[in-house]
Structure formats: C-alpha cells, structure tokens
Amino acid sequence: MRRYSICGAFFKVTLPVLELSEVGFHWPGRTRFALSLSNFTVDKGEAVLLLGESGSGKSTLLSLICGTILPNKGTVRVAGTDITTLSGGARDRFRAEQIGVIFQQFNLLPFGTVADNILLPLRFAPDRRKSAGDAKAAAAALCEQLGLPKDVFAAKANALSVGQQQRVAVARALIGHPPLIIADEPTSALDANSQAAFLDLLFQQTSAHNTSLLMVSHDPRLGERFDRVIRMEDIAQIERAAA
C-alpha cells in the first residue's frame, strides 16, 4: 500500500485510478462471447456512471477490473499497477487492498454480524487495515456517518432491512479508504426515495476522501449526479455468436 500511495501522491493529477487499454477478452470454451475495449479511464476522485443493458458486458468488464478474470490482451491498470502482470493470489490481495465492491443486493454474509461484514475486506488486505487505524472504531464511525442505528453494529446482517444492508455494504467498501469503489447497480433493490438517500450518502463519503467511484447501472436518470456518464456500447465492442 505504501508503494502505491507514494505513487498516488506523486502522480496525483497525471495517473488515473483506473485505466484499461487495448483490452481483448473472450470466455474460454463453449460460449462465444468476446469483449474488446480500446481505452477507458477513471481519474482520481472522479465519479463515473457506466450505463449498459444486461448482456452488454458490464459484468465481464467489472470482473476484468477486479482481476477475477484476465484479459487475453491489453492492460488493466488499477492505482498505477498493471494487474494483468500479477499472479492470481496477488490479484486477489490487490483487489482487497485497492477496490471496495458493492453489489446489487445480497452484499452481506447473512450469518455474520454487521461488524464482521464491514471488517471482512481488511482480513485480506493488511495495508488497508493499517490505513484504517482502529478498524472497529472506523467501522462504527462509518456506520454513524451512513445513518445506521448504533445498535446495528453487533446485529446479524440478515436482521437488517435491504436499505440498511446496502449502507453496510457501502461502509464495507469504504473502510480503509481504498482509491476505487466499484458499485454494481447498488440501488436497483431500493425504492426511489431510498435510492436518492443512498446516493447522497455514497457521494458524501467518496468526495470526502477523494475516492473514485465507478458505478454500473441501466438507469440513465441517475446520470446527473455523476461527473461523467459513459455508455457501455461507446467504449466496448461485444461479439456474440451462438455456439
């Protein structure tokens, strides 16, 4: 983390947090699905909304960014490091250190407490744990900032409402302040009012820590709150053929 943060400090303006270039990927074997993408960047502190219908390759793109799949060609740079050069285990560790992930729903381990869930990524990211300081206090502070009731901390995750669960997921993504937050349709399980409140909280947190946010959605109405709105089809070409 230290190495990366020094880089980040030096090249704050020049180096984007996320940079994909000349990426080509196709799933191995049976399904003929190929994605190619010439260039896509997210700058430090930038909030980008990526719009795309289902089947537009959003999930594949997110998997590439998170390093759970490797492109067949091209580079994927996260916080200055080309993750395609890392080994599988190192990519997992790197993801834990650099990226906070928020899913559509079912974000939490239902049997764990809220505290367990928030602290989980730190378990795999020692550097991020260090930068979080007193992890428990940091988690509690995040909960408070996200408007979660105090007694929720020790509660089992499955005892929470969906809205509360999504906020816990935000706290989990933010803890230790990773440079990049990836959110995959985090508001789709919420009603309109909750959506707005959720985004308010999310933006509050990302702008407070100058965190980059890449959010994927199919809903263009969310666009006005982001620095940039990009359509999936504008950056990536999908080839699909029946097997």
Smallest distance, Å, CB 119 to another protein? 7
Q: Which stretch binds another protein (CB under 8 A): 74-82, 111-119, 147-155, 218-226?
A: 111-119
Which of 57, 80, 121, 179 touches another protein by CB under 8 A? 121
Nearer to another protein, 175 or 190 (CB): 175
Cα dihedral: 139, 142, 147, 148 (round 10): -10
Smallest distance, Å, CB 191 to another protein? 23
Nearer to another protein, 45 or 112 (CB): 112
Nearer to another protein, 182 or 201 (CB): 182
Beta bridge partners of 40: 20
For residue 178, give the nearest of 98, 83, 73 by alpha carbon.
98
Smallest distance, Å, CB 125 to another protein? 6
Which of 20, 119, 190, 214 touches another protein by CB under 8 A? 119
Smallest distance, Å, CB 107 to another protein? 7
The burial class, CB within 10 Å (0-12 / 13-18 / 19+), for 178 is buried
The answer to whether 44 and 210 have CB atoms below 8 angstroms apart is yes
DSSP state of 110: T
Cα–Cα distance for residue pair 88/149, rounded to 1 Å: 38
Nearer to another protein, 16 or 178 (CB): 178
**98: phi then psi, degrees, rounded to nearest 5:** -105, -20
Smallest distance, Å, CB 11 to another protein? 24
Which of 1, 20, 96, 235 touches another protein by CB under 8 A? 96
Contact status: 167 vs another protein (CB under 8 A) = no
Nearer to another protein, 155 or 196 (CB): 155
**42: phi then psi, degrees, rounded to nearest 5:** -130, 125
- Helix residue ranges, H only, the chain: 2-10, 58-66, 88-98, 114-124, 126-132, 135-145, 162-174, 192-208, 232-235
Contact status: 123 vs another protein (CB under 8 A) = yes
Cα–Cα distance for residue pair 233/51, rounded to 1 Å: 9
Nearer to another protein, 119 or 180 (CB): 119
Q: Contacts with another protein in 130-159 (CB under 8 A)?
A: none
What SS3 class is residue 192?
A: helix
The answer to whether 170 and 201 have CB atoms below 8 angstroms apart is yes
Contact status: 92 vs another protein (CB under 8 A) = yes
Contact status: 45 vs another protein (CB under 8 A) = no
Q: Which residues bind another protein (CB under 8 A)?
A: 59, 62-63, 66, 68-69, 88-89, 92-93, 95-97, 101, 103, 106-113, 116, 119-121, 123-125, 172
